[in-house]
Structure 1
Amino acid sequence: MEVRESHELEPRNALEDQPTATTTTRTSIDRTSSGADLAAPLDVDGAEQKRQHRRYQYTLLICGFLMTFNVIGINSSYGIFQEFYTSSQTHLKDSQGQDALVSLVGAIATGLTWSGGIVVSPLMAKVQKVQWITLTGVGVMSVGLFSVSFSTKIWHLFLTQTILYGLGSSLYYFPIISITPLYFDRNRGLAMGVVLAGSGIGGLVYAPVLRTLLDRVGAVWTFRILGIWNLTVGLPVAFTVKYRPGYRPQGSSRLSWDIVRRGTFLFQASGAFLQAAGNLVPMYYLTSYSTSVLSHSPSFAALLLALNNGINSISRIIMGYIADRLGRQNTMLVSVLLSALSVFALWYDAARARFLAFVVMYGIYAGGYNALLPTTIAEIYGVQHYSSVNGSIYFIRGLGSMVGAPLAGLILGTYNRGAADVEGVVDLGLKRRYHDVVVYDGVLLLCATLAVANVRWYDAKAKGWSWKA
């Protein structure tokens, strides 16, 4: 029995033992001689071709960085909107205190960004010029952001900030994140760390900027500026991306039932779901905890979120570097474990100093899983199964992101934050509910750690034990 998907990229000769790039599509490789280095240009006529190839590598790294700067940077800054929409400052008529419903707006948008790869992959097989996909994504994403300025109720946000933005960001994100690693062989983990560092830098920049814009020009013009900015930055990036010469998308993809029933796949899917669910909870509720429990100002809470994102971006690069040398699965396992422990040890009943420590330490540890998941998929399943497994895992991860933060909002319940906003009064009942949120989040991440450990064990059992994996 086979679970069929719609897209795979098939290598034309024996490369199946070589890990592939981070990509939602597999590729067909034209090679003139066996054993050629993947990092070298496919048609090598001399030094000029090598220089052109190297220049495009750098260009692609810059474009990938800018793409994640906008897409993931905006996603990771949703906590600013979460705090704004649920506060007394909101311009919406029905969002104050509605944490669960408001978090669902951002959670589904993030889920669409990730899970959309299962649709984008077959689309890339049918479109000859990948620029058409990325340009469409930038346009839809920008229209979604601009259209939020006309929203007056929560259901308007679901149409604009969730559906339009989420679908557009997926069309923009996956082609670039898929193609970029195909130009690298050695130091692929480091290259992807550089690209994905844009997400943390984006969050570092967006969090205080968005908070300032909301305070000074209001929500309407904040989203209009954001939409125009996204279009301005995104169009050149979308035009630049192209398939690597000699790589041709194929039209079919199959996820073998033999893979689905393996322990490695079952635990990898479970870990992806649980980590995505747990990872977004601090991102969404860091700012509201700061303002509602610790009585920080909204602007200071935005700086804390920016600090977390900035540290996270540096961590992704460092984690990628470490993983290339000590093993990607090993690094991922330690990263998830320490992120879970930091939630329990530093966030639970945290006062201001300990909460600041949590912001820093969680930023360091949480970046490892996100940066290393694609490369571990390639390492475990090989090039011949990469596209189908990667698309399925990210689809499941997208579902997890839709669950974690909204359930945390249900735990918090509906409440009036007005007193705390004005007088700095702390609702002790709300503080106790945040304790429950922290425990819920920590359990999710601990379960994700167990799943990652089982992936490591099953893979070692199948291939033979090695300290570096």
Structure 2
Amino acid sequence: MNEKFSAASEVRSDNDTVASSSASYDFDVIHPTSAENGITSSEHKASTDERRSISRASGDLRRTASNVLAQVSSRITTKSWPEPPPPPDGGLKAWTQVGAAFFVLFATWGYANSFGAYQAYYSETLSETPSTISWIGGIQIFLSLTVGIVSGRLLDAGFFVPVFFVGIVVQVLGIFLMSISTQYWQLFLTQGVLSGLGAGIYFTPAVSLVNTYFDKRRGLAVGLATTGNSAGGIVYPIIVRELIPKLGFPWTTRVIGFLNLGLLAISFAFMRPRLPPRKSGPVIELGAFKDPKYAGFLASCFFIYWANYYTFYYIASYGTQALNLPYASASTLVVIINGVGFPFRILVPMVADRIGNLNVIAPLSVIWTIVSFTWLAVHDIPGYYAFTVVYGIVAASFQCLFPSTVARITPRLDTIGTRLGMAFSVSAVASLTGPPIGGAIQTASGGGFLAPQIWAAVVTLLASVLFVALRIHMGGFTLRYKC
């Protein structure tokens, strides 16, 4: 009877990882088998205590493993996160973030989108093909967008200030090192890799930050910030065009470096996060791609940016090679295509806030397709200036809606850094490969522009079909449905 009770206590101890039940009863029992083998009761008790000790360790290990799994589970799910506070949708601090973000986009995309001026200059000074040269600008934009996968998540985690500071240092360092670069590989590493990496570190957190301060006026706020894109797209090409003949390439580049340093320092002084840190959650939210709205929007944007950056990079080269424009006049085209969209970056978001972003983007993409095909009919200088103006307006109208649209289809504002970083990364692949593909098509077709023009127009057509399909999926054929 005593033997059975002791055995039952030990079994319960092994299963429940609690040794107290068997420890409370200490029987000196000599099992027949033990006695036959010459094992004393004290030896048997020592063996029993050892088994109990192992049982306790096993139970502790199971509890520890269970706690670790629970912590991991909490980091890959969002169900336990508290809802973030609602945005103020205005106020001095909120609009200060918009003003600071203006300087960020000025120094980032105004500078990057002016690469068309560099493309034309490098074509005359470097013994490289147009496709090879365009990889410099392509990698710069690619890194400016893809690094946002990590830096955007760091914003959500509460590390905006140190991340922003590091990004400024890296981008400005790349520009100053670019000033002493004389060969293609040096320019690729400094202007392309280093400057793009720095911009990618601070850009996505800055744009995401603006979105967290607004709701009903989010489109207007982001649109105002993106006017920095157009303003910078005017200033940087003029600096390149006017100063290189006077100061030379090294000091022209240093002027740009000091300009960026000053503008980004102002932004760093005023931009501060609003939401509490979200420490848990994945860096890449793969589940977002299961959302048809999010996945459909990114697929459409991929094709639209694939063609867009080919046009932006080769707008000046087409002028010099196909229309025999001098370099100064061709550089003016870069200023125009970046600058004409300035007022539309304000007006279009105001309309989108009232009727819905996709209700603007879908018809806008159809217009963009028509404009892209008109490039095939341009054979004189006045027509080319007209094409440049209209294309710049349409492109700016779309670009200013990209961040706010991603925010609209993001369920929680404290994941906007992660979602926007992922969205920018998808567009980055298109931005990286589009210009070199267009340049390769141009080289393969004997140096003419007709084949890449057709390619860019057809890709834009595909994007517009996807945008219209997404709008129908979200709102059906009801025109008044806001989406």
Which residue of structure 2 aligns with residue 253 of structure 1? Answer: 282
Which residue of structure 2 aligns with residue 455 of structure 1? Answer: 470
State yes or no: 1:72 paired with 2:109.
yes
Distance change in 2, residues 1:38/1:10 (3 Å): farther
- The answer (yes or no) to whether the contact 1:73–1:198 under 8 Å persists in 2 is yes
Which residue among 107, 119, 122 is the counterpart of 2:138?
A: 107
Q: Which has the larger radius of gyration?
A: 2
- The answer (yes or no) to whether the contact 2:406–2:420 under 8 Å persists in 1 is yes
- The answer (yes or no) to whether the contact 1:271–1:449 under 8 Å persists in 2 is yes
Which residue of structure 2 aligns with residue 443 of structure 1? Answer: 458
Which residue among 295, 301, 318 is the counterpart of 2:324?
A: 295
State yes or no: 1:119 paired with 2:133.
no
State yes or no: 1:372 paired with 2:387.
no
Which residue of structure 2 aligns with residue 357 of structure 1? Answer: 386
State yes or no: 1:62 paired with 2:99.
yes
What's the offset of the Cα at 1:401? 0.4
Q: CA–CA distance in 2 between the matches of 1:229 and 1:258?
A: 41
Q: CA–CA distance in 2 between the matches of 1:375 and 1:86?
A: 37
What's the offset of the Cα at 1:334? 1.8
- The answer (yes or no) to whether the contact 2:220–2:346 under 8 Å persists in 1 is yes
What's the offset of the Cα at 1:342? 0.7
TM-score, normalisation: structure 1: 0.81
Identity, % of aligned positions: 25
Q: CA–CA distance in 2 between the matches of 1:257 and 1:305?
A: 37
State yes or no: 1:96 paired with 2:127.
yes
What's the offset of the Cα at 1:407? 0.7
Question: Structure 2: which amino acid aligns with 1:167?
Answer: L
Which residue of structure 1 aligns with residue 87 of structure 2? Answer: 38
Q: CA–CA distance in 2 between the matches of 1:5 and 1:207?
A: 46
Q: CA–CA distance in 2 between the matches of 1:58 and 1:389?
A: 23
What's the offset of the Cα at 1:255? 6.4
Distance change in 2, residues 1:436/1:7 (3 Å): farther
State yes or no: 1:468 paired with 2:479.
no
Distance change in 2, residues 1:351/1:238 (3 Å): same
Bigger RCO (CA 8 Å, 6+ sep): 1
What's the offset of the Cα at 1:194? 0.4
Q: CA–CA distance in 1 between the matches of 2:368 and 2:466?
A: 14
What's the offset of the Cα at 1:452? 1.2
The count of residues paired between Structure 1 and Structure 2 equals 409
Distance change in 2, residues 1:56/1:326 (3 Å): same
Distance change in 2, residues 1:216/1:317 (3 Å): same
Which residue of structure 1 aligns with residue 430 of structure 2? Answer: 400
Q: CA–CA distance in 1 between the matches of 2:438 and 2:79?
A: 39
Q: CA–CA distance in 2 between the matches of 1:9 and 1:409?
A: 47
Which residue of structure 1 aligns with residue 82 of structure 2? Answer: 12
What's the offset of the Cα at 1:126? 4.8
Q: CA–CA distance in 1 between the matches of 2:75 and 2:375?
A: 43
Q: CA–CA distance in 1 between the matches of 2:81 and 2:308?
A: 35
Which residue of structure 1 aligns with residue 313 of structure 2? Answer: 284
What's the offset of the Cα at 1:204? 1.2
Distance change in 2, residues 1:8/1:336 (3 Å): farther
State yes or no: 1:324 paired with 2:394.
no
How does 1:152-231 map onto structure 2 within 5 Å? 152-231=182-261
What's the offset of the Cα at 1:127? 5.1
Distance change in 2, residues 1:300/1:196 (3 Å): same
Question: Structure 2: which amino acid aligns with 1:82?
Answer: Q
What's the offset of the Cα at 1:429? 5.4
Cα shift readout 1:99-127 (whole Å, capped 9, x = no counterpart): 11110110111111112110112333555
Distance change in 2, residues 1:231/1:365 (3 Å): same
Cα shift readout 1:388-445 (whole Å, capped 9, x = no counterpart): 443322211111100110111112229xxxxxxxxxxxxx954xx2011111111111
Distance change in 2, residues 1:55/1:258 (3 Å): closer
Q: CA–CA distance in 2 between the matches of 1:413 and 1:73?
A: 28
Distance change in 2, residues 1:399/1:158 (3 Å): same
Cα shift readout 1:147-169 (whole Å, capped 9, x = no counterpart): 11222221112211111101101
What's the offset of the Cα at 1:265? 3.7
Cα shift readout 1:54-93 (whole Å, capped 9, x = no counterpart): 2222322221111111100011100000000011xx2xxx
Q: Which runs of 5+ in 2 are unaligned?
A: 1-73
Cα shift readout 1:198-254 (whole Å, capped 9, x = no counterpart): 10111011112211112221211111221122112211211321111x532333137
State yes or no: 1:138 paired with 2:168.
yes
Q: Which moved more, 1:383-392 or 1:156-165?
A: 383-392
